[in-house]
Chain A
Amino acid sequence: MQTHSANSSQVVSPTASAARELAIYVHWPFCLAKCPYCDFNSHVRERIEQDRWRAAYAREIKRGAEGVPGGVVTSIFFGGGTPSLMEGATVATVLDGIAASFTIAPDIEITLEANPTSVEAARFRDYRAAGVNRLSLGMQALDDAALKFLGREHSADQARAALATGRAVFPRVSFDLIYARPGQDVAAWRRELAEALAFGTEHLSLYQLTIEEGTRFHERASQGALTVPDDDLQADLYEVTGELCNAAGLQAYEVSNYARAGSECRHNLTYWRSGEWIGLGPGAHGRLQDGHARIATRAIRSPEQWLAAVEGFGSGAEPDERVDPEAALRERALMGLRLSEGIAAAEFVRTTGRTIDEAFGNALPALVEDGFLVWDGSAVRATPRGRLVLNRVLAALLD
């Protein structure tokens, strides 16, 4: 698949064109090892028959295209799991399949998540050749002890080397770091983030460590063997993050995502703007619009069952669900308020059939008055203070 003008890709508003814009998420459910903080749908397997998986993705792409005639694909995202365990040929088959079944936007963004081990970095050129134009590198930390704590298979030096390779190969590169780790203070994080910013990538995802249920970290935390910073320190760390990124020219366009203007991840913006996306692969979710209604799609979660269903019945899908209008409203708010641009009023009316005031009128004025939200008639958005307590703001807004 050939991509065009990937370097000059701009963030386009979904309202700008009349065509039905689509994002496609491809889930690769395998990892070499399960990280102790991760609650994603990822599995460790001895052997993966990539040719069978290639064929299955190709079938699912065709089926997916039937549900959205006339859709123009603006972004593709390979997530996981560890998509950098895919063979170059597997990525190529998927991208070629999408190109054959959908109309492709000329400035399409194609991201692949990769782990920064040397083995995986060796495949970067194959991915680029297949059409991938953006790399999202799971560096997670720039400190060997922290990487070990996080259960990662790479060292800080390997991560630095992989980043260099990635930047040589891909037009756009972003990487992830996990901070607010146990014992991490503001000074230590300043040093680590300063080094990260010095690499000069145009995009960073900076996540505070979250203890998710069902993970090894959760088990350790409930036994009292692991303590994360309290909310005061978390807030301090978050504020330092914004300050340093800002000084380096990267804006917090989402709660945990920082970018130079125009370098935002367009694929993820589709989620946060409650656009339309198709989910491919085990456990992948999708959201489609049907008039003012929202359709949730979901694929079978277990990799083996998904593969068997696609091969045996020609579909790995679970039944679609029409999202209850109130629930759809909550989804829009919970996604849209994560963005610094907030929820666009015109788009909101177009997709829900309700105005912002109709939907949130009860609680909105008080939240505005108290400085948690801004509502100027064209968009409703969280203030920096509001975004930091967004869970509370949402609870109040959606009461």
Chain B
Amino acid sequence: MAAIPHIRNFSIIAHIDHGKSTLADRLIEACHGLEAREMTAQVLDSMDIEKERGITIKAQTVRLNYTARDGQQYILNLMDTPGHVDFSYEVSRSLAACEGSILLVDASQGVEAQTLANAYLAIEAGHEIVPVLNKIDLPASDPDKAKAQIEEVIGLDASNAVLISAKTGENIPEVLEALVARLPAPQGDATASLAALLVDSWYDPYLGVVVLVRIKDGIAKKGLKIRMMAAGSSHVIETVGVFTPKLKNTDQLGPGEIGFFTAGIKEVAETHVGDTITDDRRPVAVPLPGFKPSIPVVFCGLFPIDAADFPRLRESLARLRLNDSSFHFEAETSAALGFGFRCGFLGLLHLEIIQERLSREFDLELIATAPSVVYRLFMTNGEMKELHNPADMPEENYIEHMEEPWIRATIMVPDQYLGSVLKLCEDRRGEQTNLSHTGARAVVEYALPLNEVVFDFYDRLKSISSGYASFDYELTGYKENDLVKMNILINAEPVDALSTIVYRKTAESRGRALCERLKELIPRQMFIIAIQAAIGGRIVARETISAMRKDVLAKCYGGDVSRKRKLLDKQKKGKKKMRQFGKVDIPQEAFIAALKMGDS
């Protein structure tokens, strides 16, 4: 193994909105990766949703040619990582492909929960870290305070942090110099067997599946038959290349390099992030460490509002999956909602993104049922079953006990909101594991059931802290709890899509809150509507929506006929956004909104 002295591989760790994409743009500009006319704001976020939400969903990479002040030519590989907790495994693989990181902190905001979580991942990955303080052009920026936080909270030396403004371009060359000077060069052996880390993959309509890799040892080039060790499949490389950020074919990829290959792979599902790619004829004995199959943790049902859209929904889900193998779907039938799909996601943001893409790119109107975590049912016959859908829960007497997934949540919050945050966590069955202060801010760690977090925890946290609290979590494992299924009955008919699994001790208050919320969400109709929450055969809460008593046009004469008829047509269209249960129309948003309950 030898150092490859002219390469530096790095990623940027930052909290959302701290300027990661803008910094990436500046670095590309400074190295002339793109002509000025080709620069669009935030080059690396290629999906509309990424640009709008300011988040990165897919890993992207760009190879920059930099002539340093020492006169030497360097290749700088920037790995742009997904910034959200839902994709933390993907983040860890991106980090494993690099030797160092820029820790980017908004000098007007300071360290946030996501910064912290990702910084720990980088430290775990053995990275050399270059602290960079951004937005120093803002009057509110306080670099000294931000430095102190980095040292106190993360425990990194911030004395040599680079102070920049990605917006104005100030001190961007200093960042490039720091990368060359401070990050270690990658190591590898070009003569050894091929060992490459699969960082990400995506479907390209012209090229098929494009696989993003970091070469550890050996050479990848056209014609080489490779083997994916975890997937157990073999392919012949057709093209190799790099992104500058434009796709550019090269002859080969060697140790320390980050680039892509194509090999006639049809589906992204055949590639697994974290897999090791090796020479099929001369495989390495041991795969690279850290591979984990991606497992969905949050499930929900997606149903077309118009039942005729079911085939189109299936097709659209399949198309999305071409590019995102981390989400799962299978056909589901609901007595209330008809045909649809049970879909699994890496987290709530992932769920929202998929839902948004379905409506935006495929023009599908959907009902999403309440998100649910995966429960483990230990049956009286000794079997263990995973429960993805509350509607499928067996009778209680067949269940010996149940377990639910727990997380470790890290919350950073200004002291003045700490009380409300602690109360929120306690209300959600949280167990405090750590509480420390840095300056006027608290860092709180809680063990929480994931179930209590999936619905609206983040919204609540934002609202009780006026938006100042930041939040991150990781799954820690399963714990036994006293859980029951709660059914919602509308006019005595159970609506399976509104069933949830709840903690027995809070079931009644939860049932009451849910009935109250549904009462607000369901418009008055021609009938009295009874909304009930039931556990087993026992009704624990009830609300009544009184019947609409008067809804008729006062005047309708000869001149009004066409106009009033068109009014009726319009009213009919509005009704399409509702689903009928027996005679009751329930608006689509009721299925998720019902569960977003304010904490009393």
The interface of chain A, by Cβ under 8 A from chain B, is: 23, 25, 27, 40-41, 79, 207-210, 231-232, 234-235, 238, 255-256, 268, 270-271, 277, 279, 283-287, 296, 327, 330-331, 334-335, 338, 366, 370, 372, 387-396, 398-399
The main secondary structure of chain B at its interface with chain A is loop
Please state if A370 and B559 are interface contacts (CB–CB under 8 Å).
no
Complex CA–CA separation, A80 to B363 (angstroms): 46
A330 touches B568 (CB 8 A): yes
In the A-B complex, the 10 residue pairs with the smallest Cβ-Cβ separation, listed nearest first, are A235-B549, A390-B552, A235-B550, A271-B558, A207-B554, A391-B551, A234-B550, A231-B550, A208-B554, A285-B559
* A399 in contact with B572 (CB, 8 Å): yes
On chain B, the residues within 8 Å of A388 by CB distance are 549-552
Please pick, from B552, B555, B569, B572, the residue contacting A387 in the complex, using a CB distance under 8 A: B552
Q: Is the CB of A395 within 8 A of B561?
A: no
Q: Does the CB pair B526–A396 fall under 8 Å?
A: yes
In the bound assembly, the distance between CA atoms of A392 and B550 in angstroms comes to 9
Q: Nearest-CB distance from B515 to chain A (Å)? A: 22
CA distance A277 to B560 in the complex (A): 13
Provide the bound-state CA to CA distance between A25 and B550, in Å.
30
Q: Check A391/B552 contact, CB under 8 A, given A268-B557, A366-B583, A398-B572.
A: yes
Residues of A within 8 A of B556 (CB): 255, 271, 334-335, 338
Known: A330-B569, A370-B526, A387-B552. 6 other contacts (CB 8 A): A40-B559, A79-B557, A231-B551, A284-B559, A334-B568, A389-B550
In angstroms, Cα B556 to Cα A338, docked, is 9
Known: A366-B583, A370-B527. A279 touches B568 (CB 8 A): no
A331–B558 CB distance below 8 A: no
Q: Out of B555, B561, B564, B571, which one reaches A287, CB within 8 Å?
A: B561
Q: Which residues of B contact A279 (CB under 8 A)?
A: 558-559
- The distance from the CB of A342 to the nearest CB of chain B, in whole angstroms, is 15
B165 → chain A, closest Cβ, in Å? 45
Minimum CB–CB distance from A391 to chain B (whole Å) comes to 4
One of B554, B569, B572 near A255 (C-beta < 8 A):
B554
Known pairs A231-B548, A334-B564, A398-B572; A392 contacts B557 (CB<8 A): no
Chain B residues contacting A286 (CB-CB under 8 Å) are 558
- Flag if A327 contacts B553 (CB, 8 Å): no
B246 at the interface (CB under 8 A from A): no
Q: Is B562 an interface residue (CB 8 A)?
A: yes
Nearest CB in chain B: distance from A272 CB, A? 8
User: B552 to A395, Cβ gap below 8 A?
Assistant: no
A287: chain B residues at CB < 8 Å are: 558, 561
B524, B555, B561 — most chain A CB neighbours (10 Å) = B561
- List the A side residues contacting B554 at CB < 8 Å: 207-210, 255-256
Does A283 contact B568, Cβ atoms closer than 8 Å?
no
A-side contacts of B564, CB under 8 Å: 334
Q: Are B558's CB and A25's CB within 8 A? A: yes
Kindly provide the distance from the CB of B546 to the nearest chain A CB, expressed in whole angstroms.
Answer: 8
Knowing A231-B548, A334-B565, say if A390 contacts B558 (CB, 8 Å).
no
Q: Is the CB of B568 within 8 A of A231?
A: no
A233 CB to nearest chain B CB (Å) = 9
Q: In the assembled complex, which residues on chain A have CB atoms less than 8 Å from the CB atom of B558?
A: 23, 25, 270-271, 277, 279, 285-287
Let me know if B159 is at the binding interface, CB within 8 A. no
Interchain CB contact under 8 A, B561 and A210: no
Q: How far is the CA of A279 from the CA of B554 in the complex (A)?
A: 22
Measured CA separation A210–B550 after assembly (Å): 13
* A395 adjacent to B550 (CB under 8 Å): no
A389-B559 in contact (CB<8A):
no
Please tell me if B525 contacts chain A, counting CB pairs below 8 Å. yes
A282 to chain B minimum Cβ distance, whole angstroms, is 11
- Contact residue among B550, B571, B583 (Cβ-Cβ distance under 8 Å from A238): B550
Distance between A375 CB and nearest chain B CB, rounded to angstroms? 17
- Return the contact of A389 from the options B549, B557, B568, B583 (Cβ within 8 A): B549
Cα distance A331–B561 when bound, in Å? 6
Q: Which of A23, A41, A284, A392 contacts B551 (CB 8 A)?
A: A392
A41 to B564, CA, bound (A): 15
> Hey, which chain A residues are within 8 Å of B569, CB to CB?
330
List which B512-558 residues lie within 8 A (CB) of chain A: 524-527, 548-558
B504 within 8 A of A: no
B525 touches A394 (CB 8 A): no
5 contacts between A and B (CB under 8 A): A207-B555, A234-B550, A255-B554, A387-B552, A389-B552
In Å, the complex CA distance between A342 and B6 comes to 89
Q: How far is the CA of A398 from the CA of B569 in the complex (A)?
A: 9
**Does B575 contact A395, Cβ atoms closer than 8 Å?**
yes
Contact (Cβ within 8 A) A389 B572: no
Tell me the smallest distance from the CB of B485 to a CB of chain A, in Å.
31
Complex CA distance for A271 and B561, rounded to whole angstroms: 9
Look across to chain B and name the residue whose beta carbon is closest to the beta carbon of A390. Answer: B552
- Whether the pair B571, A395 counts as a contact (CB closer than 8 A) is yes
- Of the residues A232, A238, A327, contact of B565 by C-beta under 8 Å: A327
Cβ–Cβ contact A389 & B551, under 8 A:
yes
Is A394 in contact with B568, judged by CB distance below 8 angstroms?
A: yes
Q: How far is the CB of A112 from chain B (nearest CB, A)?
A: 15
A338 to B553, CA, bound (A): 9
Which chain A residues lie closer than 8 Å to B549 at the CB level?
A: 231-232, 234-235, 388-389
Choose from A256, A285, A395 the contact partner of B568 (Cβ within 8 Å): A395
